[in-house]
A = this chain, B = another copy of it.
Amino acid sequence: MKDFFNVTPLETVLEWVSRTHRAGTEAIELFQSQGRVLAQDLVADDDLPPFARSTMDGYAVKARSTFGASEGTPAYLSVKGSVAMAERPYFRVEDGEAARIPTGGMVPENADSVVMIEHTDTLGETTIEVYRSVAPGQNVIEKGEDFKKGATVLEAGTLLRPQEAGVLAAFGKDPILVYKRPVIGIISTGDEVVPVTAVPRTGSIRDMNTHTLSGLVWQNGGTPRSYGIVKDQKAPLFQALERAVMETDMVLVSGGSSVGVRDFTLDAISSLADSKILVHGIAISPGKPTILASATGKFVWGIPGHVTSAMIVFCMVVKPFLDHLRGIALSSREAPEIRAILTRNVPSSQGRRDFIRVRLIKKGAALYAEPILGKSGLIHTMVRADGVIAVGMNDEGVLEGTEVQVIPI
């Protein structure tokens, strides 16, 4: 047997990420912003909040008017007036004075703190007793304490969570400019593969890869577009590929695990206009036969047909390309890591990165990662899995009891 390809290290494959274009931009309603990626910096055009606000119901005062106050020796302050919600107070607060203020009310000029109503008592119409001292700034959000005018509040490339929607709302940004959801073409291949709604005759199986890969694309902010199931022949694959490359931002071809089929996949991709095979074989397991190519500036992937391999290749190799396409900045938040203790030895081969499916098990205060054994053609191993661990190129395995990082899957 000839050694039909030289594998590329994963790190080298990922260097192509930055050469991906990004999806275009569009304006959308803020209400629809979840999971989208901001396409321009948000710079504060005013202080937030734009005025000092009380965080309590109570009395706005100059803090020093309360210094030394206690249950035994209260401070006596004269009530200057009441702050109405949503209005600018027309008065100043001087030494020895107080102004009634609701939570969220604007702190009057000259006052620097708020005494909680619970720490006061009224003595007639215009005088209060204060039983505790407050420090300057206490129970007040200062003008600009959240964000100062001119500050960069959010950077282009930020993945929008609920709190980022809140910030955009605070600065009046609606609609907002975001990157378009990249459209990802998905082609399943295989003479033995039939559509989900068909009853497979003996020797055939239903198309799982279109659905697992579409799910992964949805989950990662893209819009999958299925180009159906293509038979193991060059011409129909070439036609499907040509259409998909034209109509989408990136294309995934799954299947072709047998050598012959891999060859004609490579052939069909190579026949695309302005095409180039960039990577043929990656030093990972599962996923070694993965192909990365470009055609008219778009990336085309040949992904192994085994359902589990296809999912792991997506998560470990394709996802960074999709993240880039959808506009996520490298500096943006990564998914937080999960750390767990490995429950048994995992052997591995040097010279490649092994991804091992694991199930997380909580026992008391500790979290364990239990390797899931099973062939990569078995989807039940992915249903049971909570994540994968990566075993390094230069490791011969990982010992039971080692703390490992689990990548959710």
Contact = CB atoms under 8 A, between A and B. Distances in A.
A170 B206 contact: yes
Contact of A337 (B147, B198, B261, B367): B367
Nearest to A33: B215
Given A102-B260, A169-B211, A202 B51 contact: yes
A379 B163 contact: yes
Interface residues of A, number: 104
A112 to B, nearest CB: 15
Contacts of A259: 57, 117
Contact of A190 (B30, B85, B141): B85
A323 interface: no
A141 B216 CA distance: 25
Given A51-B202, A141-B375, A215-B34, A307 B166 contact: yes
A87 to B, nearest CB: 5
Q: Chain copies in the assembly?
A: 2
Interface stretch (A269-277, A348-356, A382-390, A393-401): A382-390
A213 interface: yes
Interface string A216-254: 101100001010000010000000000000000000000
Contacts of A62: none
Nearest to A163: B382
Contact of A383 (B164, B336, B386): B164
A391 to B, nearest CB: 15
Nearest to A160: B215
Nearest to A214: B31
A212 B163 contact: yes
Contacts of A385: 163
Contacts of A102: 258, 260-261
A87 B203 contact: yes
A362 B117 CA distance: 43
